[in-house]
Amino acid sequence: MGRLVLEALGKRYGASTAVERVDLDVSQGEMVALLGPSGCGKTTTLRMVAGFVPPTAGRVLIGGEDVTRKPPHARDTGMVFQSYALFPHMDVASNVAFGLEMRRVGRAERDARVREALRLVRLDSLDERLPRQLSGGQQQRVALARALVVNPSVFLLDEPLSNLDAKLRGEVRMEIRALQRRLGLTTLIVTHDQEEALTMADRLVVMERGRVRQVGTAEDLYERPADPFVAGFVGRCNLVEGAPEGPGAFRAASGALLPCADAAPSAAGPSVLAIRPEHVAVSPAADGAARITAVTYLGAQTEYHVELDGTALLAVRPTPAAGDPLRRLAPGDPAALDWDRSVARLLPLAD
């Protein structure tokens, strides 16, 4: 019913490509996040699903039906915009009723559905207020109610939390996720905030320059990134260019020899070694080959910036207890680095 399929969906503006051949299959009730840096094509993709941007290639299918040429109000979608896009001169109830009017739903049913939608987002007592008489979080809920009131098969969210302060964002994030689960809504959400994507979505789509880099669960992307872009975009990662040198060793371009997982035969040439900072152990060592360049105390964790034969690496460790020799490491000190070589993955050089 609410399955959403994108088939080789693309958008060109003249000579420039905003979105290039995106394939995606979102199951009924699944929440998928489009994640990527500014300008990578997230919003354009979402707007093609909603019907606001006509694709120049490919198809959009909702519940098996090809809706590529249908106008927005004839698609079974509800969309929440970053700006909320509320009508300033209309009260809350009228804002929420708008989509039903567009669909020519009768007065009695319309009123009942507006009440139900406002109850869902816990705004039932504020139906006569104007948007400017509401807080940012309340306005955001009106926008949610307005999208939900049409009982969409597919729910589309475009950076819905970016205008909220950090605390409210965390709360609303959980509310949206709970609502989405309870209503079993097939959902596509656009965000450039990786924490938002990791905590809310069942699967994530990492985009870059109009292309899909990888689709997977948060664990897939964090633990098995397909390429250096994904490794560096989802969480932090040490990325060292060089080439494998014999089994279990990697020669960095700077000359440092680093332990790594065994290379697949296909990864014999130039590649990138990827190691998460939490996997790098650092210890004081008078004869150590590494040198501490900076130490940043962050409460529960401490970051150590280290240089090893011309290669800069970051280690993030639980802050050692007072009295632990590690606690006294300071810039300029020699140190030893260590990691389990299986966690140092070889990735293909970025294309």
Q: Which stretches of the chain bind ligand ATP, using CB under 6 A?
A: 13, 18, 36, 38-44, 192
Tokens 């030893």 identify what position? Answer: 336
Closest CB to ligand ATP among residues 18, 172? 18
Closest CB to ligand ATP among residues 38, 266? 38
Closest CB to ligand ATP among residues 48, 315? 48
Residue 58 CB, nearest approach to ligand ATP (Å): 15
Closest CB to ligand ATP among residues 50, 280? 50
Closest CB to ligand ATP among residues 212, 306? 212
Residue 44 CB, nearest approach to ligand ATP (Å): 3
Structural tokens at position 172: 């609303």
Residue 146 CB, nearest approach to ligand ATP (Å): 21
Q: What is the 3-state secondary structure (H, E, C) of the chain?
A: CCCEEEEEEEEEECCEEEEEEEEEEECCCCEEEEECCCCCCHHHHHHHHHCCCCCCEEEEEECCEECCCCCHHHCCEEEECCCCCCCCCCCHHHHHHHHHHHCCCCHHHHHHHHHHHHHHCCCHHHCCCCHHHCCHHHHHHHHHHHHHCCCCCEEEEECCCCCCCHHHHHHHHHHHHHHHHHHCCEEEEEECCHHHHHHHCCEEEEEECCEEEEEECHHHHHHCCCCHHHHHHCCCCEEEEEEECCCCEEEECCCCEEECCCCCHHHCCCEEEEECHHHCEEEECCCCCEEEEEEEECCCEEEEEEEECCEEEEEEEECCCCCCHHHHCCCCCEEEEECCHHHCEEEECCC
Closest CB to ligand ATP among residues 40, 200? 40
Closest CB to ligand ATP among residues 9, 18? 18
Residue 13 CB, nearest approach to ligand ATP (Å): 4
Residue 350 CB, nearest approach to ligand ATP (Å): 18
Tokens 């049913």 identify what position? Answer: 109
Closest CB to ligand ATP among residues 39, 170? 39
Instruction: Tell me the backbone φ, ψ of residue 265, rounded to 5 degrees.
Output: -55, -35
Residue 349 CB, nearest approach to ligand ATP (Å): 24
Residue 16 CB, nearest approach to ligand ATP (Å): 6
Structural tokens at position 183: 């209503």
Between CA 108 and CA 41 the distance in angstroms is: 41
Residue 2 CB, nearest approach to ligand ATP (Å): 23
Closest CB to ligand ATP among residues 41, 242? 41
Residue 164 CB, nearest approach to ligand ATP (Å): 17
- Indicate the Cα dihedral angle 227, 231, 232, 238, nearest 10°: -100
